[in-house]
Amino acid sequence: MARTTRTKRDFLRVTDLDRSELLELIERAAEWKLLGKGGPRPLERMTIGLVFEKASTRTRVSFEVAAYQLGGNAMLLSKADTQLGRGEPVPDTARVLARYLDALVIRTFEHEKLEEMARYADVPVVNALTDSSHPCQVLADLLTVTERFGADALSRGGLSVAWIGDGNNMANSWLEACALLGFDLRIACPEGYDPDPKLVARAGGRARVVRRPAEAAEGAHVVNTDVWASMGQEAEAEERRRKFAGFVVDEALMKRARPNAIALHCLPAHRGEEITDAVMEGPQSAVFDEAENRLHAQKALLELLLAGR
């Protein structure tokens, strides 16, 4: 019999939160960062399953550490470790894992597989990356923005964000954050590599797709990028390098942004392709703060989904 001891809630996209919840979660993440390894342990005796069909460094480590620091435990389940890799139906796997585990954190290719897992698991399901969305990364990015521009940076208005490069899962999640929070988002990508047009439409006039990186970066507080070829697109890497040749976040592009602008990259970076060493290691880089903030944002997220905070 399925468990009914708590109301199940999933986090598959940024818009699974409303505006106030998102702002509160970022505020709580900042509190967790100040607490460090201390603080309450709301996940005592809980176990989180990490169902990962894609390789991971930051996502895996940050979720494992987050679970531990919250008093719980995390268990990695790679494709080779489960019967999913041998063709077991997703609904069967989801229903069985939900009998053992308190939440499922899933990193996979097709977003539809994630949604199917969420339909059949009666415990919270978290999107740890799909081909169409990476909401946990954007939580960390938004926390980084508040650290650099003030705790009210996301609520007071006037924030301008530039996305340079592929209109990929990260660009889609930034669009969802834009729709909730109302900041200005300009996405510069070559023709044929646009983000989801439905998400652009939902963001309204706050989001624009442009073709020149300089236009996107002009006056921006945040200049954001990602690799040009994501996991599963390796065969397209050479063609993408040609198409994206003018979409490099370098010192010249950063000069188009505000003097106090920050550069973000969700990592891993192909230095010298989508971002230069000079920017990655320069004074405007917030890349490694951003990477650390995965831990704190995910502690706040797990607390919300499993402890109701």
Assigned CATH for 137-291: 3.40.50.1370
Q: What digits encode the pLDDT tens for the residues 50-65?
A: 999 998 999 999 999 9
Query: Model confidence at 85, in pLDDT bands (50, 70, 90)?
Result: confident
Query: Which segments of the chain does DSSP mark as H helices, in order?
Result: 19-35, 58-69, 90-100, 111-120, 135-149, 169-181, 197-202, 213-217, 237-243, 251-256, 277-280, 287-307
Whether 270 is catalytic: no
Cβ neighbourhood burial of 161 (10 Å; 0-12, 13-18, 19+): buried
Whether 136 is catalytic: no
Whether 294 is catalytic: yes
Give the span between the Cα atoms of 301 and 279, in whole angstroms. 30
Comma-separated ranges of CATH 3.40.50.1370 domains in the chain: 14-133+294-307, 137-291
24 or 4, greater pLDDT:
24
Choose, from 136, 294, 296, 298, the residue flagged as catalytic.
294
Whether 137 is catalytic: yes
Q: What digits encode the pLDDT tens for the residues 155-201?
A: 999 999 999 999 999 999 999 999 999 999 999 999 999 999 999 99
Percent of the chain with pLDDT over 70: 97
Give the span between the Cα atoms of 302 and 309, in whole angstroms. 9
Residue type, position 54, single letter: K
Choose, from 102, 111, 226, 298, the residue flagged as catalytic.
226
Choose, from 28, 111, 134, 240, the residue flagged as catalytic.
134
| Of the options 3.20.20.70, 3.40.50.300, 3.40.50.1370, 3.40.50.2300, the CATH number for the domain spanning 14-133+294-307 | 3.40.50.1370
Distance of CA 306 to the CA centre of its chain: 19
Q: What digits encode the pLDDT tens for the residues 265-301?
A: 999 999 999 999 999 999 999 999 999 999 999 999 9
Q: Is 186 helix (H, G, I), strand (E, B) or coil?
A: strand
Whether 141 is catalytic: no
Whether 226 is catalytic: yes
